[in-house]
Amino acid sequence: MRLGVFCFEKEVNKAMFRKKAIKGLICFLAIGVFASTGWAMGKKPAMNKEQAVVDQPQADVKENPEVAEVESQAEAKVTEQKGTQTPETQAVELKPIMEYKLPEGEEIVDIIFGEAEMTVEEARALGMKGLEQKKATETVKVQYPKVLVTKNAVKFLDERGRMEREVLLKEENYEKPMVSLLTNRIVVKGKKGEGENCNVYAKWTDEKGKLIKIEEHILGEFGGVLMSENGKYIAIGLGVKVTEPEVGECKLYDINGNKLWTYDIEYPYHGGMDIFNDGSVVIVRSVEEGEGIKKGKIVLIDVNGEKLWENEIVDGTHKIFSTAEGKIIVYTREYHFAGTPFEKFTYILYGFNKNGNLLWKPKEYKGFNNSFHKLSVSKNANYLTGLTLWDHLWVMDINTGEFIWKYPLKGWKPDTLKISPDGKYVLLGNVLLLDGKSGKVLKRIKEGGKFLDKDKLWRRKGGKIEIFNISDILKED
């Protein structure tokens, strides 16, 4: 999910509010630099009381009984794995099952894979390896780059790597285009203008680049353009209108650009949304109720625009994740004004099902060192993985809210974290492959990759795409 932050009309009270927020951000960054310097010198920041609650559930029960209670329940079944500070050592070289040559001179920003059935002879010509024992006339399934998004175009390829058509992107300021493999429609979000006069747009084109529809609007602190994974629906979160009261909007469209509904957002700040394949949209945002009273609200709107349910959560900045079967995870950092000590910052995880039921007691932590970072959800399973700023990598069972295992980072601060769609594997820092169910380190690999599906990794290396079987990686010495 991507949240956009764009310009909009500023009023005096908002300017003062943001001035305080900016000061707080500067303080936040300053402390982050100081803490990072401590790591570089081999000195871990002192553990505060709230962090002691995370690492030792029995500590400080009287001072913070709710946090201690949640942690003692969750940690009871946690498997603790041994960590490492040098995950790059003893890394194995990966042997690809597929090497696909990319067009020369192209700056590729995204790749969408397709799958096709072809003869062994055709698969060899495309770059597939390990077929020596198969007859040329046998058939095999091959995953290949079906769509290449370059800096200036979207290229559709056939299963043999030949370009079928190309759609030029003439916009100067646009984000990564979204492509529906169901219809080959392309949706591009872009920006026009600068400063307080800027606005954004979402543009639909067909597979040949012909304009279908364009929607222009002002986008505030709540917003985004999302496509459902099946390529049927587009949800757009709009920002603040220039008139009072402050109201934003969320709109749902089909892939052909037909608007299905509009939903007003009362106080559209610090929010987010996600979209399901059935066209329902989950929205989380702050709501102002009375002078200075703000609450967080999460709501589910179905494909017909009907509000199915709404629940209250704490006010703050929110991120949202969902699974294919309808589990919803909300990450909230409770809002604090500038000058609030970082040890008082509160970070909370909520778990809901698609009926709006809270699955488990919200997990609450306090202190800068205990904040959640780099969360990743297995779309086709019920596992959430994440890491805290200084502590551990962990995997949680979304159904129960229990942490299944923890892996100590010991000062290592990896910049990437992904879990496979089925939750079977976790790739940490692009170099460490772990068992998603136990936390056991399976392999240290060179140059990493991304999950292509539940049992494959892929990466771009030079002028080619390489695809690997995870089962083959596990056999490597």
Statement: residue 103 has pLDDT above 80? no
Task: Identify whether 129 is part of a domain.
Answer: yes
Specify the pLDDT at position 244. 54
Specify the pLDDT at position 136. 92
Task: Identify whether 130 is part of a domain.
Answer: yes
Omega of the bond leading into 268 within 30 degrees of 0 (cis) = no
Task: Identify whether 148 is part of a domain.
Answer: yes
Statement: residue 241 has pLDDT above 80? no
Task: Identify whether 193 is part of a domain.
Answer: yes
Number of domains in the chain: 1
CB atoms within 10 A of CB 78: 19
- Give the helix/strand (H/E) hosting 472: helix 470-475
Long-range contacts of 23-31 (CB under 8 A, 24+ apart): 23/338, 23/339, 24/336, 24/337, 24/338, 24/339, 24/340, 27/338, 27/339, 28/342, 31/342, 31/368
Task: Identify whether 48 is part of a domain.
Answer: no
Q: Render pLDDT for 396-443 as a digit per residue (tens, 0 to 9).
A: 999 999 999 999 988 888 889 999 999 999 999 888 999 999 999 999
| β-pairing verdict for 233-238 and 248-254 | antiparallel
Task: Identify whether 167 is part of a domain.
Answer: yes
The whole domain housing 149 covers: 108-209
CA 259 to chain centre: 26
Task: Identify whether 197 is part of a domain.
Answer: yes
Q: Work out the mean pLDDT of the chain and round it to a whole number.
A: 77
DSSP notation for 213-261: EEEEE---SS-EEEE-TTS-EEEEEE---SSSSP-EEEEEEETTS-EEE
Question: 180 near 256, Cβ under 8 Å?
Answer: no
Q: Render pLDDT for 80-100 as a digit per residue (tens, 0 to 9).
A: 676 554 444 567 778 888 888
Q: Render pLDDT for 310-326 as a digit per residue (tens, 0 to 9).
A: 999 988 888 899 999 89
Average pLDDT over residues 447-452: 87
Q: Render pLDDT for 362-406 as a digit per residue (tens, 0 to 9).
A: 999 888 878 888 899 999 999 999 988 768 899 999 999 999 999
Specify the pLDDT at position 374. 87
Task: Identify whether 114 is part of a domain.
Answer: yes
